[in-house]
Structure 1
């Protein structure tokens, strides 16, 4: 998803600042270090939507200056930066701030790369990535590294007998826990946020999968809708509706 698309996305993204749920405290401050401006912008918008304070840097030098001045709670680091290695930057940041959470973001996915980064970092995300998964992982890392009393609780999202906890990323239907993958969670959350509205398939592809162009024969949305139905419909009547040729919504 591009920055322009994310800013123009209808519904909750546009009205995120109004939907504060009574919260005035940010769940944490995140330093995003990414030299590709479009990626940095999308990450910053997604994190701010989830009420994180966000700073961005495109180089090692900028990141070190920002980290010293603002003392973030977590750093989301691209491994390949124009003036240095993100892993070396992570080591230096960790030396300066032992309590700083580190999440690496990179296209490298070999076992040696992952093991090396996790030797001193807290998590490792490969490109291409799902925006909601990145946010969920940053939040999970902060839950592990920060005291519970400094992480404010967000009111759960509810629709009918569905309840989504945006602090723990847990899902319940009729009071019973539902185990979802990050992508399934992102898809269900977007449907819940849109209430009873039918969401076009193209909008789901842009928001959940960040696809701008996809062959018309692709069935990725249909596949994940079937996964959700399989897990949700065992706990109650069918909750996801289909408008053939248009999209999906909640009953």
Structure 2
């Protein structure tokens, strides 16, 4: 699931945007410049950024953001618009239309999304189906790789044992016993040599959000 940082000081707008966006995306919220500076570049796929914040102007720190930016702001003067379009991918003037915003988000993500996913010291290359730990490639079978990808790309979401059983069955056509899942998870953990995969008893497995 893609992850969006929303920087917006208006609580009512934040509530509306959360309701709209959280159906499709994981959303982190910053209400001011200070909070935004603490959250930027935490593996977000996109930043939605108001320009005028209570403690500063977001154009002053936009260059620090290493993911695509959509400016969502009431500022409609030509100079600011041009500056925003230079620094970001899109510039939307409030009040905004829900469907237009969702379409622009989708288009920006399609244009800019890479197939590389970073979680702490683990890098997943979805194109090559490879996993690196501390920049060293770890040898995985195709199924092991798919388990790693499922767990880490959905960090913050518990992956049920049923989902893992289905994944294993679809790739092996073998009946999946309860212990089979444990064996695969143990093998993946051993190869990663990290404690990032948490067991949620009787439910499944979770890689916690960073």
- TM bucket normalised to smaller: 0.5 to 0.7
The alpha-carbon deviation at position 148 of structure 1 amounts to 7.0
Q: Give per-residue Cα distances to partners, 1:200-235, cap 9 Å, x unaligned.
A: xxxxxxxxxxxxxxxxxxxxxxxxxxxxxxxxxxxx
Unaligned stretches of 5+ in structure 1?
1-25, 151-251
Equivalent residue, structure 1, for 2:9: 35
Residue 49 of structure 2 is aligned to residue 82 of structure 1: no
Structure 2, gaps ≥5 residues long = 118-210
Report the equivalent of 1:52: 25
Deviation, structure 1 residue 102? 0.4
Which residue number in structure 2 is paired with residue 146 of structure 1? 113
* 3-state SS of 1:108 partner: coil
In the alignment, is residue 64 of structure 1 matched against residue 31 of structure 2? no
Deviations 1:21-76 (CA, angstroms, capped at 9, x unpaired):
xxxxx1x1100000011101111110112x111011101111121224x3211100
SS at match of 2:61: helix
Alignment root-mean-square deviation, CA: 1.8
- Secondary structure of 2:29's partner? strand
Q: Distance in 2 between matches of 1:110 and 1:60?
A: 22
Q: TM-score, normalised by structure 2?
A: 0.52
The answer to whether the 8 A contact 1:106-1:125 is kept is yes
Is 1:31–1:74's contact at 8 Å kept on the other side of the alignment? yes
The superposition leaves residues 143-201 of structure 1 with CA deviations (integer Å, 9 ceiling, x where unpaired) of 11013799xxxxxxxxxxxxxxxxxxxxxxxxxxxxxxxxxxxxxxxxxxxxxxxxxxx
Q: Is the CA contact 1:78–1:104 (under 8 Å) kept in the aligned structure 2?
A: yes
Shift of 1:111: 2.1
**Higher deviation after alignment, 59-68 or 39-48:** 59-68
* Aligned mates of 1:83, 1:77 — CA distance in 2: 14
> Which protein is bigger by CA-based radius of gyration?
2
How many pairs were matched up? Answer: 117
Q: Is the 8 A contact 1:44 1:55 kept in 2?
A: no
TM norm structure 1: 0.44
Partners of 1:30 and 1:55 within 8 A in 2: yes
